Every structure is written in structure tokens, then in C-alpha cells.
Amino acid sequence: MNAAARRVAWVTGGGSGIGRALALRLAREGWVVAISARRTELLQETAGLAKGSIHAFPLDVTDTAAVRVTAERIESQFGPLQLAVLNAGMGEFVKLDNFHATTFAAHMQVNYLGVVNGIEAVLPTLRRRHDGHIVIVASVAGYRGVPRAAAYGPTKAALINLAESLRFDLEREGIQISICNPGFVDTPMTAGNRFPMPFLMQVEDAAEVLYHGIMQQKFEIAFPRRFVLLLKIFRCLPYALYFPLMRKFAGIRSHHHE
Ligand SMILES: NC(=O)c1ccc[n+]([C@@H]2O[C@H](COP(=O)([O-])OP(=O)(O)OC[C@H]3O[C@@H](n4cnc5c(N)ncnc54)[C@H](OP(=O)(O)O)[C@@H]3O)[C@@H](O)[C@H]2O)c1
């Protein structure tokens, strides 16, 4: 009876930032949370903050076989997985002076195919039980092409499209899928940014909104609200308006000869 009451979640990228804050939030609500990332020490440190509730499963999400084995290990230790938050990701800015195909490949491998690996790993158990929830962490940078995100943005756009596409088949099998699109959140990923980050959110607040969105089984969980609204308006604009507005917003001068 106890085992049935224990809801089991898996959070990738759970040793830092948004994943870590969400893992702690879920643990506070009584979930058993498996967290994965490459750096074992960060995973163990996070697990140590909620002993008995958070458990470390070191993993590189680009390793398809290892992702599958990890999902199986989590289930055999804790029981059926109810929630998989595929959040692991990387983000590097690209300028024309450092345009390297390897950077683009790495972003696709981790951000996009890493999530695909996670879906493949949890799909059999969710389908067998006609239950469960997959949450993909993308970004508002996936809405439209934004400055310097040429390697990062397309991976997030791909994730949004992936979630939309899969929803049609998953919902018929009783499986939920959600896409989380954060704006700027204060995490190790953004700590080195040397430009003003509009509407920057604290990581605990981001995790709180994400947690409630998951509980409400929203399809899109996007925050902070005002920034998302602005970018959704940008998304609808014709190019003749989008480019000048985004240039102004991002403080970029046009070198177009006018
Ligand atoms: N912070 C923001 O403003 C923001 C905005 C929009 C979207 N997001 C998205 O939110 C997610 C979490 O990012 P964050 O801001 O919380 O930054 P973060 O603290 O850097 O978290 C990223 C996590 O992903 C893990 N990771 C990276 N590569 C991995 C790999 N190959 N295998 C397994 N784990 C890997 C990292 O751990 P290891 O390095 O130890 O593996 C780390 O725990 C990302 O998908 C990011 O794109 C963030």
C-alpha cells in the first residue's frame, strides 16, 4: 500500500539549476525522485538535501543504452515511474567568429537527442500502464530565431515541435506530455551572461511554476508570464516588424547599409 502511494519521478539535469530545484520541490510533496546528470558530486549533494527522497543516478543523456538502463534501474528500485522531466541541456552562444559545426552537433546531441533517448527509455512502461507524464524542458528561445542562439535555439524549437507531434499519439494512450518554456532563470547556465536578462527569475520561483504546471497537466508551462507574452507576440509578427523590434529589444545595431 505504501509503495502505491509513493509517486516516482525522474529528473534529468537534476544536479543543478531548474532540475535540482524541481527535484527538491517534488521531494517536499512526498515524491521519490531519481536525478540524473554527469557530475556525480552535484547529484549526491542534491540527494543529501532530501535524504531518502532524492536518489542519484549518474548518466550522460547522449548515451542511448545507458539512458534505457537507467530508466529500468529506477523502476526496479522504486516502482512504476509516473513522471519523467527531461530537463538536461546545454547552451553556448554562437558568434560568426566561433561558428563550428561541432558546437551545433553537441547541442543537438544533448538538448534534442538526449530528450529523445529519455522518451524511448520511458515509453514502454508508460504505454504498458496507460499512465504517466513526460515533461520536456525547452525554452522561449525556441519560439523564434533570437540573437546568438543559432546553436541552442533550433534544439529548443525542435523539442517544441516534437512535443506537439507526439501529443496526438500519446494522449490516445492515456499518457500526458508537456513542454516547459522558461525565459531567463538564474542558474549556472545563465550565471556567465554578460548582458541584461529581462524578467530574470529566481530558480525556486521557476521550479514552483513548473511544479504547479505539471500538477495541472498543462501542455505548455511557460514563464515568467510577461516575458512569454511579449515573445509570443513577437512570434506572430511578420519579419518586417520582428527583426527591427528584436534588434531594439536586444540592443543590436543594424549594419545594413541604409
Ligand atoms: N536558465 C535559463 O535561463 C533557462 C532558460 C530556458 C531554458 N532553460 C533550460 O532549462 C534546462 C536546465 O538548465 P538550467 O538553467 O537549470 O542550467 P544548468 O544548471 O546548467 O542545468 C543543466 C543540467 O543538465 C545537465 N547536463 C548537461 N549535459 C548533460 C548530459 N550530456 N547528460 C546528462 N546531463 C547533462 C547538467 O549536469 P552535468 O553537467 O553534470 O551533466 C545540469 O545539471 C536546460 O534544458 C536549459 O536549456 C534554461
**Residue 55 domain-assigned?**
yes
CA of 109 to the centre of ligand 1 (A): 13
Is residue 258 scored above 50 in pLDDT? no
Average pLDDT over residues 147-166: 98
CATH assignment of the domain containing 71:
3.40.50.720
Read off the pLDDT of residues 102-146 as tens digits, 9 standing for 90 and up. Answer: 999 999 999 999 999 999 999 999 999 999 999 999 999 999 999
The DSSP call for residue 62 is: T
According to the model, what pLDDT value does residue 254 have?
73
**Residue 163 domain-assigned?**
yes
Pocket probe mutation, ligand 1, options 45, 115, 189, 228, max atoms within 8 Å of Cβ: 189
**Residue 256 domain-assigned?**
no
Is residue 170 scored above 80 in pLDDT? yes
Judge if the beta carbon of residue 152 lies within 6 A of ligand 1.
no
**Residue 121 domain-assigned?**
yes
According to the model, what pLDDT value does residue 130 have?
97
CA of 258 to the centre of ligand 1 (A): 41
**Residue 14 domain-assigned?**
yes
Asked whether the beta carbons of 70 and 91 are under 8 A apart, the reply is: no
Choice among 112, 143, 152, 211 that is catalytic = 152
Average pLDDT over residues 189-197: 93
Between the alpha carbon of residue 152 and those of residues 9, 93, 141, the distances in Å are: 26, 8, 8
Q: Is the peptide bond before 124 cis (omega within 30 degrees of 0)?
A: no
**Residue 258 domain-assigned?**
no
According to the model, what pLDDT value does residue 255 have?
66
**Residue 69 domain-assigned?**
yes
Strand 54-56 and strand 220-223: the pairing is unpaired
**Residue 208 domain-assigned?**
yes
According to the model, what pLDDT value does residue 1 have?
37
According to the model, what pLDDT value does residue 256 have?
56
Distance CA 182, CA 217 (A): 17
Is residue 222 scored above 60 in pLDDT? yes
Distance CA 180, CA 140 (A): 9
Read off the pLDDT of residues 50-78 as tens digits, 9 standing for 90 and up. Answer: 999 999 999 999 999 999 999 999 999 99
**Residue span of the structural domain in which 145 resides:** 2-250
The total number of structural domains that make up the chain: 1
Distance CA 235, CA 144 (A): 6
**Helix, strand, coil abundance in the chain, percent, nearest 5:** 50, 15, 35
